[in-house]
Amino acid sequence: MIETRKSKDWPIFVGENNPNSKFTNIQVSNIKEMLHEGIKQSDIAKMFNVSKSCINKISKNKSYKNIRHAY
């Protein structure tokens, strides 16, 4: 999803469209499902080779807010 800022004409890149994104939307959905199933954040971080804080931000909905997962 590409939006534009109100004050400037620069696009806002959300989710996997962001060049700095570490995950695809499907991966984030899978991570949220694993968290719901009770898998430890540290174990998920090792699976995806990222930091624990990255997984923690997903679990607290601070990053990848646009991805919803039906539990």
Q: Using one digit for the tens of pLDDT, what is the confidence trace for 16-67?
A: 767 677 888 889 999 999 999 999 999 999 999 999 999 999 999 998 888 8
Domain spans of the chain, in order of start: 22-71
Contact 9, 16 (CB under 8 A): no
What is residue 25's predicted lDDT score, i.e. its pLDDT? Answer: 86
Query: Which CATH number describes the domain made up of 22-71?
Result: 1.10.10
Of 48, 51, 52, the C-alpha closest to 23 is 48
The SS3 of residue 55 is helix
DSSP state of 50: -
Q: Residue 62: count other Cβ atoms within 10 Å of its Cβ.
A: 10
Token match 């999803």: residue?
Answer: 1
Q: How many helices (H) and strands (E) does the chain have?
A: 3, 2
